[in-house]
Structures are given as structure tokens and as C-alpha cells.
Amino acid sequence: MASTKTLRLNRVLHALTQVEDHELASVSLAFLCNFVLLACYYILRPVRDTMATVFGVDQLHHLFTLTFIATLTCAPLFAFIVSKVKLTQVLPGVFWFWLVNVLVFYYFFKTSPENRWVAGSYYVWFSVTNLFMISVFWSLMVDLFSSNQATRLFAFIAAGGSLGAIAGPIITRVCVGIVDLSGLLLIAAIGLLGVILLIHLLMREKNRLRREDRAIYPSTLDHRLGGNPFDGFSTVFKSAYMMNQAAFMLFMTWIATVAYFLQTDLVTQAFSELKGRTQAIADIDLVVNVSSALLLILGLSRFVQRFGVTWSLLLNPLLMIIAFVAVALSPSLLMIQAMQIVRRVSQYAIARPSREMCFTVVSQDSRYKAKNVIDTVVYRFGDVTAAWVQTALKAFGFGMAGTITLGLLTSGLWGGIAIALGRRYDKLRARQTS
């Protein structure tokens, strides 16, 4: 019976992703790990966004600035750790550290639920931590799978995250009225324990695959990366390919921050109580993540295999140009919310797995150091610069017209970067597989 069920699962996965028999265990574990990780993320995220409303929407640009400073500090610290500690210890170790942090905030939320300083601290902490969580997971993925495997498998693995991102808002909406905000942190802490277990299983699976075929799986995790804490920064600035990756991330983040400001302002005006705001944000997450999961499971891997990574990268800015034009023609609340859904679905279901594929053709050192800088520091630099530009536009009275113009210009530049990145990836992949 068990073997029959395994055979059926194998057939389903093969139909969706063309997974090979020897990849089944690693793909299933990666899918499940991403599911649990994103479920935790989407339990903690509405709490973060609720804390933004406690701290004050008019102070968001200050929170963004503090977040960028904290990220800029943590990135070289992470690089220092991976240079001194074996990856087999670092990968689960960082999740243990974040789990302890969640329990500390549980205590403060229980004793001071509406304290502005606690709210601001949690906002900055989660805004830094969430990027590191996702970056560390995908660093392991691009280290586990080759570029050829990535085009087949990454969309399905990302779909696990989207399904987890559906479960997270549902858990938040159902439980927030029962256990309150502090209780949500305990639920997330339990989830992080599951992530740690799955990380261990994925590392063991990597060792097994490497023993079977070292040509496909050349790298190992049982070593330190060496170097210095600033290797990631220097690699980004020295490599045209990594600079391309950084520029793609920067412009994607600019678009995301413009939409985030609009969402936070609208939610604050519409709901007076914290529970209502948390539920509203969770509802938006749910719509986005259902759409993302369907796109990832049913279409992206086939699209990438047929049209290539360049077109999958370019699709994101093209969709945003259309969305901004639609908002310009009909600047209504409904249209702004629709734009936010299109933006987030394209980012999570298309840009994320496509961009991760681009890291499969670089060295292991770059996968953990330079990638981490791009995923965290560049992302938050985009946040803080976009936040201050938004504040300046408001101060000079440009309003929505200025925001839409900024979005169109940014999307156009983003499209050019997407083409350059995709073409360079194709060249490096051809060189790697020749």
C-alpha cells in the first residue's frame, strides 16, 4: 500500500515538474520545508504590519531607515559566521536563533501589547529576519540543485511556499481572535521547530545525492567558506552578473514599497482596532497566495522551459507597466488593490523562482555571501530609498500622479535589467553545461 501511494505521488510530481525518481525525496522535503517556512512567515508578517499601524504610518520612513541600518549590520555578520562555522551548523543554527527571538517578543507582546517601542522593535526585527530566512532557504536550494534541475523543479518548490503562505493567513485569521497577537508568535515558534528538522533532512539528502553523482552535485556543506565578512559586498561590486542581480532586486523593491505605502495607509484608515487590521492584511495575503500557488503549480516551470528565464524575468516589469497604466486611467481604491495583487503575485510566483535560478550558475561562496547581500541589503536599500522618495513626493504635493509616474519609470528600467540578466544567465549556463 505504501509503495502504491509513493508511486502515485511520483506520477503526480512527474506530471507537474518532470521530477526524476532520484530527485523525489529532495524535492518533497524542499516543498514541505518551504511550506512550513512561509506559513510561519505569514503568521509573523500580519503582526509586523499591525505593529506598523501602532507605530504610525507617518513614521514608516523612519522604520525603513532603521531596518536598512540593521540589515547592513547583519549581512557582514552572517558572512563572518559562514566563514568561521561549517554550513551544516550555520543553516539550522540561524533558525534556532530566530526561534529564540520569537519567544522573546512573545513575552514583550504579552506584557506591553500596544507599546510603540516594542512595536517598532518588532517591525525592524521581522523586516530584517524575514529576508534572511528566505535567503538562507534558497541558498540551500541553489546549492542542492543544478541549473538544469532548477528550471524543472524551482517553480514546484516555490509553490510549496505559496501554499504555506495560504495556510499562514488562514491560521492568523482563525487564531488571532482566540490567542491574540502574542499567541500567534507561539504558533510560529512551533513552525520554526519543523523548519529546523526539515533543514537537517535536506542536508542529509544533499550528502546522499552527492555520493550518487558528484558531477551533478559537486559542492558539500561540511566545511567553512572562509574569507572575510565583506566578501559578499566585494563580489557584488566586482561581478557584472551580480550587479545585474542587485539592480533587478533594487527596482523590484522600489515597486513593492510604493504599493506597501498605499496599502498601509488604506488599512489604517479603514480599521480602528488592531485585530481588524491584522485580519484585513491576512485576507489580502490569502488572495495573493492562492493565485501564486496556482500559477506556480500549473504554469511557470513549463513557461520557463519553453520560453527561457529571460522572458520569465521580463514578465514582471511588463505586468507592472500595464498595472500602472490601468491605475492612471482609473485611480480608484479597487484598482489600486488589484495592482497590489498583480504586483505581489508576479513577484512571488514569477520573479522569485526565476531569480533564484540565476544563482545556480555561480560559485558556492557567492550563493551564500553575495546572494545574501543582494537578498537583504540591496532589498532594504530599495525599501529605504523608495520610502524617502515617497515622503518627498508627498511633501512637494505630487500625490498619486507622481507615484504612478515613478512606478512607470522604475518598471521600464526594471525591464531593461531583466533582459540583461536573463541573457547573461543563458551564457553562464551554456558554459557550465558544455
pLDDT digits (tens, 9 = 90+) for 144-199: 988 888 888 888 898 898 889 888 888 887 887 777 777 888 999 999 999 999 99
- For residue 81, what are the contacts with CB-CB under 8 A and spacing of at least 6? 90, 94
Nine cell digits for residue 58:
507617518
Please give the C-alpha separations between residue 241 and each of 138, 248, 374, 417, in angstroms, as whole numbers: 18, 11, 12, 11
**Ranges of each domain in the chain:** 16-433
Nine cell digits for residue 158:
516555490
pLDDT at 5 over 60: no
Nine cell digits for residue 233:
559586498
pLDDT of residue 417: 94
Question: Which amino acid does the sequence have at 412?
Answer: G
Q: CA geometry: angle at 304 spanning 236 and 26, to 5°?
A: 80
pLDDT of residue 267: 63
HSE, CB side, 13 Å, CA atoms: give it for residue 27: 25
Q: How confident is the model at residue 328 (pLDDT cuts 50, 70, 90)?
A: confident
Nine cell digits for residue 193:
521547530
Q: At what angle do helices 116-144 and 87-111 cross, to 10 degrees?
A: 160
Which comes out higher in pLDDT, residue 294 or 24? 24
pLDDT at 39 over 70: yes
Architecture of domain 16-433 in CATH? Up-down Bundle (1.20)
Pairwise CA distance, residues 426 & 410, whole Å: 24
Question: Which amino acid does the sequence have at 172?
Answer: T
3-state secondary structure 234-253: HHHHHCHHHHHHHHHHHHHH
Q: Which of 119-133, 134-148, 166-180, 274-288 has the lowest mean pLDDT?
A: 274-288
Q: How confident is the model at residue 8 (pLDDT cuts 50, 70, 90)?
A: low
> What would you measure as the largest C-alpha separation in the chain, in angstroms?
69
**Verdict on whether the full-model pTM lies above 0.85:** no
DSSP 56: -
Which comes out higher in pLDDT, residue 269 or 148? 148
Pairwise CA distance, residues 166 & 133, whole Å: 18
Q: How confident is the model at residue 274 (pLDDT cuts 50, 70, 90)?
A: low
pLDDT digits (tens, 9 = 90+) for 99-124: 999 999 988 888 876 777 888 888 88
pLDDT digits (tens, 9 = 90+) for 356-407: 999 999 988 889 999 999 998 898 888 788 877 877 877 777 766 777 788 8
pLDDT of residue 58: 63
pLDDT at 83 over 70: yes
pLDDT at 215 over 90: no
Instruction: For the chain, report the end-to-end CA distance as a whole number of angstroms.
Output: 43
Q: Using an 8 Å Cβ cutoff, are 128 and 90 in contact?
A: no
- For residue 168, what are the contacts with CB-CB under 8 A and spacing of at least 6? 38, 39, 40, 41, 42, 43, 45, 282, 285
pLDDT of residue 264: 64
Pairwise CA distance, residues 81 & 117, whole Å: 29
3-state secondary structure 85-154: CCHHHHHHHHHHHHHHHHHHHHHHHHHCCCCHHHHHHHHHHHHHHHHHHHHHHHHHHHHHCCHHHHHHHH
Sole residue written with cell 496556482: 294
Q: Using an 8 Å Cβ cutoff, are 383 and 257 in contact?
A: yes
pLDDT at 429 over 70: yes
Which comes out higher in pLDDT, residue 394 or 278? 394
What is the rounded radius of gyration, in angstroms, for the C-alpha atoms of the chain?
21
User: What percentage of the chain carries pLDDT values higher than 70?
Assistant: 85
pLDDT of residue 282: 62
pLDDT of residue 17: 64
pLDDT of residue 277: 60
Q: Which of 264-268, 313-317, 323-327 has the lowest mean pLDDT?
A: 264-268
pLDDT at 138 over 90: yes
pLDDT of residue 285: 66
DSSP percent split of the chain into helix, strand, coil, nearest 5: 90, 0, 10
pLDDT at 61 over 80: no
Pairwise CA distance, residues 278 & 363, whole Å: 41
Pairwise CA distance, residues 223 & 82, whole Å: 9
pLDDT of residue 10: 61
The mean pLDDT value of the chain amounts to 83
Q: Using an 8 Å Cβ cutoff, are 31 and 156 in contact?
A: yes
pLDDT of residue 220: 84
pLDDT of residue 101: 93
Average pLDDT over residues 340-362: 85
pLDDT of residue 392: 80
pLDDT of residue 196: 96
